Amino acid sequence: MTEIRGSRGIRRWWWLLIAVALVAAACGGNDDDGSADTSEPSAAQEQTSAPADEPSDEPSDQPVEEPADEPAETAPEESAETPADEPAKTPDEPTPEPTPIVLTASYQGVTETEIAIGIAAIDIEMLASIGVDLSPFPVENFYAALVDDLNQRGGINGRDVVVHVSLFFPLGAAANEAVCVELMEDRKVFVVIGQFLEDYALCITETHGHPYVGHFGENTERQARSNGLFFAAEMNQTHMRVGGVIEMIRAGDLDGHNVGIYYEAPPDKEYADAIRPLLEDAGINVVGVYPRGAPTGDAVADQPTTDNISYRMEADGVDLILNLSNVHGIIQSTQRLGWDVPIALTNGQAADRTTISDDLSLTNESLARTFAVTTHKPSPEQAIADPGVQQCIGAYEERFGDEPLDLDDSEVVLGITTHCRAFVLTVRILEEAGGNITPETFIAAGERMGTFDLPAMAGASLSPDKHSAGSHVQRYEFDSEERTWLPVGDSIPFEPVE
């Protein structure tokens, strides 16, 4: 566990003055630093108009007789002075001072001067033990740089941010519960930014009642069990499956096939329940739904379980697998069995541009049978060019220039983008929550954010019915030279019907 505190640089009394100015900033806007447009001048600033002429003594319903043949009187010379009975113009009223944000010790992890944020990040080195060999990424130094940069720019409405980083192995209940307990009970953070798989983030939201901002993972059941405390940067898990399947149906990918719906962890049943009616309404033949259970992390034990499901689907006449869960396991299984069946993917893993590890022993021939329609993610080139991502890279390079990030490595760029985006989203919600930060004000702040931009994610949005920022799906096809899935065509907006 690493605790990270940004440099303060300026005395605390100065932040009390800054807090008065910051109240005019609306933190859910489209600019990357969270600042808002200057407010319009109030009506009190406009000059009042002069009153109309005094009314005549004659009653208004009688005509006024004009004197006949009387010579006009010579008008007296006007005085240079303003007549005494002419009202002077009302001076401009001063613009009222904004109400200062009062910073209170309102909840665990929130004091008058600091906000404690936890980071639950997957340990990339530990993933190598199950055959997922990813490029190293300096998670602790990256967050140290982001926090230092944020605090030097004023923190969150004048509060400094302290970040506690915990790396963990993502499979198995014990490792996930341990990092949750460490952040919530030992470090006593207010909000966790995390990469929990399956239902493990519910330890933060359901068990401890604190907000969680995931890189991914929000769905209907988890949201209900979290009482609104679950937010995510990536598109809602159910929405990405529904949006992907709708686009597959539109493109004719499933026409004439006998489809088997495959998923692993029990919570993924929600996805199957959502997409099966769509397929049947479109006239697609659904042979059946095939759950296999959550992986244990023990490859020797997991393989026979997956293979038994593959045997069953083949025997039932499935000629296209619609995979709603982990991308690689079912592909490995069909390759082991020599079953050349097409596989359609809906999991966001296929959008990561992560080079498929040789340790997975997947051949190009097997992977060429697959395609994906899932959440849209920008290319590494697009991500690096984004101003929000550039700001995160700049913050890191300024502080750790002797340990440069490999911007030619797509996996490193993915790490930069996802960590940067989740951090910025969390900061913006906290800014919007104001001085009295509690789980309730955090939810309310997120739900009134509307549409805004995040690093490498234009047109993000949050609302009472939408707690995940992403809003587009994308088609991906396998590229044998890059050994990954690459986007085809333009991204497709998906507007869920709640």
- Coil, strand or helix: which one is 278? helix
Sign of the torsion formed by the C-alpha atoms of 212, 217, 223 and 228: positive
pTM for the whole structure = 0.73
Mean pLDDT of 293-315: 90
Nearby residues of 79 by Cβ (< 8 Å), 6 or more positions away: none
- Which element (helix H / strand E) includes 49? none
Query: Is residue 198's pLDDT more than 60?
Result: yes
pLDDT classification of 129: cutoffs 50, 70, 90: confident
CA max distance for the chain = 121
What span, in angstroms and rounded, lies between the C-alpha atoms of 195 and 383? 20
What span, in angstroms and rounded, lies between the C-alpha atoms of 236 and 223? 10
Residues above pLDDT 70, as percent of the chain? 80
pLDDT classification of 130: cutoffs 50, 70, 90: confident
Q: How many CA atoms lie within 13 A of 116 on its CB side?
A: 20
Question: Which DSSP category does 350 fall into?
Answer: G
pLDDT classification of 89: cutoffs 50, 70, 90: low
In 301-393, DSSP assigns E strands to: 320-323, 343-345, 370-375
Considering only CA atoms, which of 184, 169, 173 is closest in space to residue 118? 184
Q: Is the separation of the CB atoms in 191 and 109 below 8 Å?
A: yes
Q: Is the separation of the CB atoms in 160 and 10 below 8 Å?
A: no
Q: Is the separation of the CB atoms in 424 and 27 below 8 Å?
A: no
Considering only CA atoms, which of 282, 490, 480 is closest in space to residue 368? 480
Query: Is residue 401's pLDDT more than 80?
Result: yes
Query: Is residue 45's pLDDT more than 50?
Result: no
Residues pairing with 457 in the sheet: 454
Question: Which DSSP category does 99 fall into?
Answer: P
Q: Is the separation of the CB atoms in 147 and 154 below 8 Å?
A: no
Please tell me the least confidently modeled range out of 14-23, 255-264, 334-343, 450-459. 14-23
Considering only CA atoms, which of 456, 477, 435, 434 is closest in space to residue 345? 477
Question: Which DSSP category does 73 fall into?
Answer: P
Mean pLDDT of 37-50: 38
Who wins on pLDDT, 88 or 289? 289
What span, in angstroms and rounded, lies between the C-alpha atoms of 90 and 86? 12
Considering only CA atoms, which of 319, 323, 365, 347 is closest in space to residue 237? 347
Average pLDDT of the chain to the nearest whole number: 85
Q: What angle do CA 91, 97, 102 make, to 5 degrees?
A: 170
What span, in angstroms and rounded, lies between the C-alpha atoms of 164 and 170? 18
What span, in angstroms and rounded, lies between the C-alpha atoms of 438 and 190? 8
Query: Is residue 27's pLDDT more than 60?
Result: no
Query: Is residue 135's pLDDT more than 50?
Result: yes
